[in-house]
Chains A and B, each alone.
Chain A
Amino acid sequence: MNLAAALRRLPLLFAVLMIVSPAILFFVWMLSLSLKYEIDNGAYPPILIPERVAWENYAKVFQSAAFLTFFRNSLIVTGAATAAALLVGVPAGYGIARMKATRAAIVVLIARMTPGLSYLIPLFLLFQWLGLMGTLWPQIITHLVITVPIVIWVMISYFESTPMELEEAAVIDGANRWQVFRHVALPIARPGIVVALILASIFSWNNFVFGVVLAGRETRTLPVAVYNMLSFEQVSWGPLSAAALIVTLPVLLLTILAQRQIVAGLTAGAVKGG
């Protein structure tokens, strides 16, 4: 690459820097908060790198015996709710896209439109009546309200932009509609499924409102547990930031890993479009 070409790319690199820096700065600051004692966290002008590092903020989180339980709960709830959502949501997205069934889409959207708060009391009573309180089932089931619509909506868009020629060819070859879906539409839609998977997982992982009421001591998920770390008699930004970072870390790592797949998936999509 010659110099002129490099210069031409400067505005682009500047733009990249501009859009990425708020995210980076925030997490750097959060990391800084998590490693400082309260006295430094409240200092002005702010201190980025403290003289004394408060490793104990992290130690406190890991020492909590329940931490692993909460982590496992989060994994189970998010995993189950996302898997189930993909199972029913991907075919639904396909069906809706092919039917152009806007009305069916709206019915599904209603779940997403309903204010989460209004589920709480009725569902609590229902799950208690069913004897499910104290298990993870109530949370898995309510999280479907979050994950299924997302999967369906992402998949509708994907299937709508999928070329029809291959499916038509398959039908001419005598395939029935399930076979067309399974062997033609599904493989093409893989990048869409990855995006749907990621989005559904995030929304489910981060959900806070349902867990507050539907989770007990044994069934609490991580976000609720982190909020519970808020202490009453003092502002404990250090330990709180430490806990928040620990909670977020697995997801962030997953993002970086899945990032490659997203990129691969998107490239495949571009090839397909051409």
Chain B
Amino acid sequence: MAYISRRGLIQGAGALGAAGLAGPAFAQSAMNWKKFAGQKIEVTLVKSPRADIIEKGLPEFKALTGLEVGFEQIPEQQARQKQVIELTSGKPSFDVIHESFHVQKRLFEKSGWVADLSGLMADASITGPETVESDFSSAGLMFSKNQQGKLRALPQSVDYWIVYYNKELFDKKGVKYPDTFEEMIAAAEKLTDPKEGVYGFVARGLKNANLPVFTSFLLGFGVDPVDAKGNLMTDTPEAIEAGKIYQRLLSKHAPPGAIGFNWSECQSAFMQGKVAMWLDGIGFAPPLEDPNKSRIVGKVGYGLMPKGPKTRASATFGDGLSIPSASTKKEAAWLFAQWAVSKEQGRALITTGSGVPFRHSVLNDPSIRTQLKMPAAWLDTVAESAKISRLGLPVIIPVTEFRDTIGIGLTNTLSGGDVAAELKKASDAFRPVLEKSEKG
């Protein structure tokens, strides 16, 4: 875990939005995009706006390379399950896959399922001059490299957690956007008006999905869920305080039933104008500004995560593309992965609000502001969140088990369980699993 440091993440975030010169050298390229024309590769991605952007660009890619692409998007849970089963079998049916760094990084590294891309990147006949490590933010590189410094994925998109807020509801009650956790709780309390069906706060209560909500608060106490030495920190005094904030906001100031909400229920409630604040990933923004879906177009504020007792931190997650070790068409697959994280693709990603690329050459390009289809405040919050970015989930193998076990404890606090007791119970249950998995 230690090899992903907080400092690296901040440095990697770059100065988004500031005018600056991107650095790729435009050397004479020996690259031949058409080298594998006529071959066919299979691409299996997780269903997401990021994958939609890639899908839209496919004809362009086919024209560029002459490659045939079998492309599909599968919902996250199914995709992860399919990936593991097929990769275990040693004969996966895909040549390019989506990797959620915050869930699969350690598993993919340890199992040896995905190929080392360093050699491919060094091969000038299949790598363009702009695809250089230095154009990727260090956060992206940390996500995609293993402990030995081998590149095992190309980072595609980063996700920061922010607070969406309903400016109209805030104005009506004369409440200002909170700057600290205490102010956030006070604001949530003030804005809650069950008679009107209006609630101050909403976030995921559903087990597993709810963990980033909890870590968003925990990080404000300056504590990571698993510390640099690999100790589980989810029953520390700070964790209990964070848990109490979580319990209070979701049981006192959130709509009834929030205990079972995932992001989608939160989003529906927020889009209907019934909720004043919603804490979730920045990638959920586009529907909020779509009049066919939202009643609060133009009224959405994009707030930076309030400051905790120790620090201000935005829980951060990342996604990338990997190539299975067992693929027989790694070079053609490399062409695809390279194109999918290219500048043009990155620009399409950020200007539509679908995601935030890891590339300096995109983030530093002033033209993305003029092409932006989202409110400027959204982009500002992206830039500000980048500066306080901190990993939202520990980089361990049993991430899902971690999210489930601790998440169940958190959910139990919403139906009246004692925070300290629930977190202790959950942490005690997870600790042996963690020790066992990190030992090997």
- Where the two chains meet, the residues of A that have a C-beta atom closer than 8 Å to any C-beta of B are 37-39, 42-44, 54, 120-121, 124-125, 128, 133-134, 212-213, 216-217, 227-228, 230-235
Contact of A233 among B86, B93, B287 (CB under 8 A): B287
Decide if A39 touches B295 in the complex (CB within 8 Å): yes
Instruction: Flag whether B189 is at the interface (Cβ < 8 A).
Output: no
Given contacts A121-B88, A235-B267, 17 further A-B contacts (CB under 8 A): A37-B292, A38-B292, A38-B293, A120-B85, A121-B85, A128-B89, A128-B91, A213-B82, A228-B47, A230-B47, A232-B47, A232-B48, A232-B49, A233-B287, A234-B267, A234-B286, A235-B268
In the assembled complex, the Cα of A231 lies from the Cα of B74 at a distance in Å of 9
9 A-B pairs in the complex with CB atoms less than 8 angstroms apart: A39-B295, A42-B293, A44-B272, A212-B78, A228-B75, A228-B78, A230-B75, A233-B287, A234-B264
Asked if residues A216 and B93 are in contact (CB atoms below 8 Å), the reply is: yes
> How distant is the Cα of A125 from the Cα of B74 in the complex, in angstroms?
21
Verify if B275 is at the interface (C-beta below 8 Å from A): no
Is A39 a contact partner of B292 (Cβ separation < 8 A)?
yes
Q: B73 an interface residue at 8 Å Cβ cutoff?
A: yes
Q: Which residue of B lies closest to A120 (CB)?
A: B85
**Beta-carbon contact of B284 and A134 below 8 Å:** no
**Chain A-chain B contacts (Cβ-Cβ < 8 Å), number:** 75
Q: Within the assembled complex, what's the spacing in Å between the Cα atoms of A127 and B293?
A: 44
7 residue pairs, one from A and one from B, having the closest CB atoms: A38-B293, A234-B287, A232-B48, A235-B264, A37-B292, A233-B49, A217-B72
Q: How far is the CA of A39 from the CA of B268 in the complex (A)?
A: 9
Binary CB contact string for chain B from 68 to 100 against chain A (1 if under 8 A, 0 otherwise):
001011111010011001101101010000000
Q: How far is the CB of A107 from chain B (nearest CB, A)?
A: 28
Question: Is the CB of B364 closer than 8 A to any CB of chain A?
Answer: no
B274 nearest CB neighbor, chain A only: A44
Instruction: Give the Cβ gap from A98 to chain B, nearest Cβ, in Å.
Output: 43
Say how far A132's CB is from chain B's closest CB, in angstroms: 12
B208 nearest CB across to chain A (Å): 16
A124 touches B89 (CB 8 A): yes
**In the assembled complex, which residues on chain A have CB atoms less than 8 Å from the CB atom of B48?**
232-233
Q: How far is the CA of A124 from the CA of B87 in the complex (A)?
A: 12
B271 within 8 A of A: yes
Tell me the complex Cα distance, A213–B89, Å: 12
- Closest B residue to A232 using CB positions: B48
Complex: chain B residue closest to A215, CB-CB: B82
Contacts of A235 in B (CB 8 A): 264, 267-268
Closest CB in chain A relative to B69 CB, distance in Å: 11
Inter-chain contacts of B76 with A (CB < 8 A): 232
Which residues does chain B contribute within 8 Å of A233, judged by CB atoms?
48-49, 283-284, 286-287, 354
Q: Report whether A232 and B75 are in contact in the complex, using a CB–CB cutoff of 8 Å.
A: yes
Measured CA separation A120–B73 after assembly (Å):
21
Residue of B nearest to A216 (CB): B93
Q: What distance in Å separates the Cβ of B196 from its nearest Cβ neighbour in chain A? A: 12
| Contacting residues, chain A, for B131 (C-beta < 8 A) | none
Q: Compute how far the CA of A134 lies from the CA of B70 in the bound complex, rounded to whole angstroms.
A: 13
Decide yes or no: A234 and B293 within 8 Å by CB, A213-B81, A216-B93, A217-B70 being known contacts.
Answer: yes
Tell me the smallest distance from the CB of B13 to a CB of chain A, in Å.
22
CA distance in complex: A154, B352 (Å):
55
How far does the alpha carbon of A212 sit from the alpha carbon of B292 in the complex, in Å? 32
Contact check, A212 vs B82: say whether CB atoms are below 8 A apart: yes
- Option from B78, B82, B287, B291 in Cβ contact (under 8 Å) with A227: B78
Contact partners of B295 in chain A: CB under 8 A: 39
Find chain A residues with CB under 8 A from B44 CB. 217
Docked CA distance A219–B283 (Å)? 32
A133 to B74, CA, bound (A): 18
Complex CA–CA separation, A42 to B287 (angstroms):
13
Q: Verify if B294 is at the interface (C-beta below 8 Å from A).
A: yes
Closest residue of chain A to B271 (Cβ to Cβ) is A42
A160 to B283, CA, bound (A): 61
**CA A231 – CA B267 in complex, angstroms?**
13
Give Cα A87 to B161, complex, Å.
57
Is A228 touching B287 in the complex (CB atoms < 8 A)?
no
A125 and B87 CA atoms in complex are apart in Å by 11
Complex partner residue of A125 from B46, B72, B89, CB under 8 angstroms = B89
Residues of B within 8 A of A42 (CB): 268, 271-272, 293
A228 & B74 in contact (Cβ 8 Å cutoff): yes
Instruction: Report A-chain residues with C-beta under 8 Å of the C-beta of B89.
Output: 124-125, 128
